[in-house]
Structures are given as structure tokens and as C-alpha cells.
């Protein structure tokens, strides 16, 4: 319980900084819109096929935008030795990673919400037909992305090539999660009922979230020793 | 003593490989449906298994480093991953050559091909991460953490992509099928060549481990010289 309270404090701190500076959200949101615009030149945006591949387009945008948020997650603690102060405080490594993951989750969800609006307008996709299922999917899949982002954001924070290394490492790791999210999103956009195939992918998402959250908590101290 | 062992292992692997090559190209007949190109399986499958064994060994070695903090485990893990990536690339390239002849295409997004490529990308990230960190303790700790994440992810990737799409031929080894999918003489040859390739891999790992240890020693001497 104390760990959760500490994690929420870290998340609150990160979100307060973000609300004041808006550096990650603005960059990630603008980046997501630009990518959605660029996709319209790659194929005919009015075709029915857009609805069928819409899930893939969106989750690629979310994953790309996420990398911008995750790069800043720990990097913003570097000036004034804030990271050293955090590590020597009473907050445990697991709580710190969990808090960063919560903050990543909320920031990425905000970018996803904005992207869905833009996507609906640009590509004539009615994403609001199944709002509850889509919201549950976004939270489940974004949590997995956020945890991986927090772990590898911490792992690469002191590297010379931080901005380059983070995407190279996280995208291959996120492949099962992205496949699952894309398959379910495509079913939702096509307004198909969720059958056993989509539920299988739902279970993949759950397993991914549980396994990597547990692993992140177990290896938190190893990753965060500065 | 260790040098002699590496040389003996490399020589034994070379002799066995030469014997296997003679049998593969001059003794075994062509396969009824595929013709001569089927021979690539004697390199394709052993390279895949060697790579997979290497990743599993790297997981255990990384966990051992995280538990005991001994740099020997880190050097071994790095060497094993490097050699495994090479064998995974051999697996992908030989598979591609076979696919070009049999399917008429170099590549298809089949689950095993995609999974093999994802493995190479994950562990290439591991090798790049090691190059990007100068401080040995930090490098060992962070790359061990990445290795643990990567190995567990590989299992989920493999199952996910299997559910997603399948085009690759099914397993042929009796150990998986109970027999009947491959001629016994060809299967025996497959195991013999696997032994040769595994011996080459072990020799390469031992050579790379020594290079890693030497590089770390030189690095620490350089640090001492800079501090003085």
C-alpha cells in the first residue's frame, strides 16, 4: 500500500511538471498528427481499406509518439541531479518505475485521445461506435507500452545515444502487444463482434502486461542503480 | 590448458564438418520433391537450434550475473549472444535461399521467419546497448536486464506470431513428430551436423569470452593510467 502511495506521488509529480511545461505532450501530440497526415499520402485515405488497416496505423502512431514521452520520462530528472535525489530518497525503485509508468500511461492516453479525433476526421473512421471496449483496449495496451517505456527509459537515461537507443530496443519487444492491439482495434473499427480470435489477443495483452509489470518490479533496483 | 581445449574443439569441429559435408553432398541422395536444395536443411535447422540454445544460455548467464555479480558471467553472456545472433542470421539467410527456390520468393511474413527476425533485432539491440555504455559495471547490469526482458519477450513473440500467421513447413524431427516425416539417414545427418555447428559455436564463444576479458582488463588499466 505504501509502495502504491509512493508510486502515485511520483506520477503526480511528473504530471504536474508536464502540465506546467507541456513539453512531452505537445511534442508527442504534434508528432502523432504529422504521422497521421503523412499516412494519407501513402495510400488512398477514403478507401474502405482504411478501416481495415486503421488499427495498424493508429497503434504505430501511438508507439512512435510514446517513444518521445518515454525519452523525457527519466531525462527530465537529470538536470540538478534530481535522479540521484530520487534514488537516494525513501521511494523504492519499484515505486519509482511504477510511478513513471502511471505518468507515461496518462500522457500517452491523452495523445491517443487526440489522435483518435484526428483519425476520425481525416480518415472517416467511426471509432466511437464501441467506446467502452475501445477504452478498455487502450488502457490495457497502453499500460504494457508504458511499463516497457519506463523500464527502458530508465535503462538508457545515461547513454550518449539515448534518443536513438530507446526505439531500437523497445519496438521489437512491443511486437506481441502491438499485434494484439491492432487485431482487436480492427475488429472494433469494423464493428465486428469480438469472437474467440479477438479474446485470444485480449489474453495476450493481459499476459504481456502482467509478465512485464512483474519483471519490471523485480528488476527495478538493478535498472535504477545509478 | 584452455587454449589447447579451444584448439582441440575447433579441430574436432572442423574434421566433423568436413566429414558431414562429404556425406551431405556426395553420399545422400536428392530429396524426392525438392531435389538438391533440401540439403540446406542440414545448416538451416542446426543454426536455428544453436541460436535458440544460445539465447536460453544467455538468459541463465544474465540471471547468474544479476545474482552473483561475477563479470565472467557477463562476458560469457555477451559472447553467447553475439555468436547466437550470427547463427540466427545464418538460419534466416539459408531459409531465404531455400524459400527463393521452393516458394519463388526471398521472404514471406510467416511466423517462424518473423519470429527469427524479431529475435535477431532484440539481441542486436542488446549488442548495441553494450557498445553504448563505457562503464563496465553499468554495462553488465543493464545488458543483463535487457537480456532477461528480451528472452522472456521472445517466448511471447513466438506464440503470438504463430497465432497470427503460419506458412512455414511443419516440424520434421522425430523428437517433435514421433517419426515418419524425414528419412532416418537424413535425420541422422541433421544431428551430426548440429553437433559440428554446436562445437564451432562453443569454440567461438570461448574465443570471444577471452577477448571480452582482455578488453575489460585493458579498459581498467587505461582507467588507472588516466586517474594517476
Check whether B168 has a pLDDT greater than 80. no
Residue B79 in domain: yes
Within 8 A of A211 by CB-CB distance, chain B residues are 152, 156
Partner A contacted by B156 (CB < 8 A): yes
Residue B41 in domain: yes
Residue range B47-72: average pLDDT? 92
Q: Is B71 exposed, middle or buried (0-12, 13-18, 19+ CB in 10 A)?
A: middle
Residue B228 in domain: no
Check whether B175 has a pLDDT greater than 70. no
Within 8 A of B141 by CB-CB distance, chain A residues are 222-223, 225
Greater pLDDT, B58 or B159:
B58
Residue B227 in domain: no
Within 8 A of B129 by CB-CB distance, chain A residues are 155-156, 159, 165, 169
Partner A contacted by B125 (CB < 8 A): yes
Asked if A96 and A86 count as a contact pair (C-beta separation under 8 A), the reply is yes
pLDDT in tens, A4-45: 888 899 899 989 998 998 888 899 999 999 998 888 888 777
Report DSSP state, residue A79: G
Within 8 A of B157 by CB-CB distance, chain A residues are 175-176
Q: Domain spans of chain A?
A: 2-224
pLDDT band for B120, please (50, 70, 90 cuts): very high
pLDDT lower than 70: segments of chain A: 46-47, 226
Q: Tell me: ipTM over 0.90.
A: no
**Chain B residue with minimal CA distance to A216?**
B149
CA B179 to the chain's CA centroid = 26
Q: Do B122 and A172 touch (CB under 8 A)?
A: yes
Tell me what pLDDT residue B217 has. 86
Tell me what pLDDT residue B166 has. 58
Tell me what pLDDT residue B59 has. 94
Poorest-confidence range of A24-33, A92-101, B148-157, B205-214?
B148-157
Measured distance CA(B4)–CA(A26) in Å, rounded = 61
Residue range B215-221: average pLDDT? 86
Within 8 A of A165 by CB-CB distance, chain B residues are 125, 128-129, 132
Partner A contacted by B66 (CB < 8 A): yes
When CB atoms are compared, the residue of A165, A200, A223 closest to B163 is: A200
pLDDT in tens, A37-69: 888 888 777 667 777 788 888 999 999 999 999
Tell me what pLDDT residue B200 has. 94
Helix (H), strand (E) at residue A103: helix A93-123
**Chain B residue with minimal CA distance to A207?**
B156
Number of domains chain B is built from: 1
Question: Among all chains, which residue has been given the C-alpha cell 547513454?
Answer: A159
**Chain A residue with minimal CA distance to B65?**
A222
Tell me what pLDDT residue B178 has. 66
Question: Among all chains, which residue has been given the C-alpha cell 545474482?
Answer: B67
Torsion of the alpha carbons at B199, B201, B206 and B212, rounded to the nearest 10: 180
Measured distance CA(B135)–CA(A116) in Å, rounded = 43
Residue B188 in domain: yes
pLDDT band for B9, please (50, 70, 90 cuts): very high
Calculate how close chain A gets to B141, using CA atoms only, in Å: 7
Question: Among all chains, which residue has been given the C-alpha cell 488512398?
Answer: A44
Within 8 A of A200 by CB-CB distance, chain B residues are 163
Q: Which domain holds residue B94?
A: 2-220
- The stretches of chain B forming alpha helices (DSSP H) are 2-22, 41-68, 71-102, 111-132, 136-164, 174-177, 184-227
Tell me what pLDDT residue B8 has. 92
SS3 A198: helix
Best of B115, B131, B142 to disrupt the A interface (most A CBs within 10 Å) is: B142
Residue B226 in domain: no
Partner A contacted by B21 (CB < 8 A): no
Q: Residue B39, by phi and psi: left (phi above 0), alpha (psi -120 to 50) or beta?
A: alpha
Residue B142 in domain: yes
Tell me what pLDDT residue A59 has. 93
Q: Do A160 and B132 touch (CB under 8 A)?
A: yes
Q: What is the CATH number of the domain that holds B86?
A: 1.20.120
Q: Do A176 and B156 touch (CB under 8 A)?
A: yes
Question: Among all chains, which residue has been given the C-alpha cell 516425416?
Answer: B181
Check whether B180 has a pLDDT greater than 80. no
When CB atoms are compared, the residue of A169, A179, A225 closest to B125 is: A169
> Residue B23 contacts by C-beta under 8 Å, 6 or more apart in sequence?
B189, B192
What is chain B's mean pLDDT, rounded? 86
Within 8 A of B62 by CB-CB distance, chain A residues are none
Check whether B47 has a pLDDT greater than 90. yes
Residue B225 in domain: no
pLDDT band for B179, please (50, 70, 90 cuts): low
Amino acid at each position: 500500500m505504501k509502495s502504491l502511495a509512493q508510486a502515485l506521488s511520483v506520477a503526480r509529480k511528473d504530471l504536474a511538471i508536464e502540465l506546467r511545461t507541456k513539453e512531452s505532450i505537445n511534442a508527442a501530440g504534434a508528432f502523432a498528427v504529422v504521422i497521421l497526415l503523412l499516412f494519407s499520402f501513402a495510400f488512398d485515405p477514403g478507401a474502405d481499406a482504411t478501416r481495415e488497416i486503421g488499427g495498424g496505423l493508429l497503434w504505430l502512431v501511438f508507439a512512435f509518439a510514446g517513444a518521445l514521452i518515454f525519452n523525457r520520462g527519466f531525462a527530465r530528472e537529470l538536470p540538478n541531479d534530481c535522479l540521484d535525489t530520487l534514488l537516494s530518497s525513501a521511494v523504492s525503485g519499484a515505486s519509482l518505475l511504477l510511478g513513471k509508468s502511471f505518468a507515461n500511461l496518462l500522457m500517452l492516453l491523452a495523445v491517443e485521445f487526440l489522435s483518435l479525433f484526428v483519425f476520425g476526421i481525416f480518415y472517416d473512421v467511426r471509432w466511437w461506435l464501441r467506446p467502452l471496449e475501445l477504452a478498455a483496449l487502450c488502457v490495457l495496451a497502453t499500460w504494457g507500452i508504458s511499463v516497457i517505456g519506463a523500464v527502458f527509459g530508465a535503462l538508457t537515461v545515461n547513454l550518449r545515444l539515448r534518443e536513438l537507443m530507446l526505439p531500437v530496443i523497445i519496438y521489437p519487444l512491443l511486437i506481441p502487444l502491438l499485434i494484439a492491439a491492432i487485431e482487436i482495434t480492427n475488429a472494433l473499427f469494423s464493428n465486428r463482434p469480438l469472437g474467440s480470435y479477438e479474446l485470444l489477443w485480449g489474453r495476450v495483452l493481459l499476459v504481456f502486461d502482467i509478465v512485464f509489470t512483474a519483471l519490471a518490479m523485480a528488476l527495478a533496483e538493478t535498472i535504477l542503480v545509478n | 590448458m584452455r587454449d589447447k581445449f579451444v584448439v582441440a574443439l575447433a579441430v574436432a569441429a572442423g574434421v566433423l564438418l568436413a566429414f558431414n559435408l562429404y556425406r551431405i553432398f556426395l553420399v545422400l541422395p536428392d530429396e524426392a520433391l525438392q531435389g538438391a536444395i533440401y540439403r540446406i536443411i542440414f545448416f538451416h535447422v542446426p543454426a536455428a537450434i544453436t541460436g535458440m540454445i544460445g539465447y536460453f544460455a544467455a538468459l541463465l548467464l544474465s540471471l547468474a550475473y544479476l545474482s552473483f555479480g561475477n563479470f565472467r558471467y557477463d562476458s560469457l553472456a555477451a559472447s553467447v549472444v553475439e555468436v547466437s545472433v550470427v547463427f540466427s542470421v545464418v538460419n534466416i539467410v539459408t531459409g531465404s535461399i531455400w524459400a527463393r527456390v521452393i516458394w519463388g520468393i526471398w521472404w514471406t511474413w510467416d511466423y517462424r521467419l518473423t519470429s527469427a527476425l524479431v529475435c535477431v533485432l532484440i539481441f542486436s539491440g542488446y549488442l548495441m546497448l553494450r557498445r553504448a555504455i563505457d562503464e563496465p559495471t553499468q554495462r553488465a547490469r543493464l545488458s543483463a536486464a535487457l537480456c532477461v526482458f528480451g528472452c522472456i519477450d521472445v517466448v511471447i513473440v513466438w506464440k503470438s506470431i504463430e497465432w497470427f500467421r503460419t506458412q512455414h513447413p511443419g516440424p520434421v524431427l522425430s523428437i517433435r513428430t514421433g517419426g515418419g516425416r524425414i528419412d532416418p539417414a537424413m535425420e541422422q545427418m541433421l544431428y551430426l551436423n548440429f553437433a559440428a555447428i554446436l562445437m564451432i559455436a562453443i569454440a567461438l564463444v570461448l574465443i570471444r569470452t577471452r577477448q571480452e576479458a582482455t578488453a575489460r582488463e585493458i579498459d581498467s588499466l587505461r582507467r588507472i593510467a588516466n586517474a594517476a
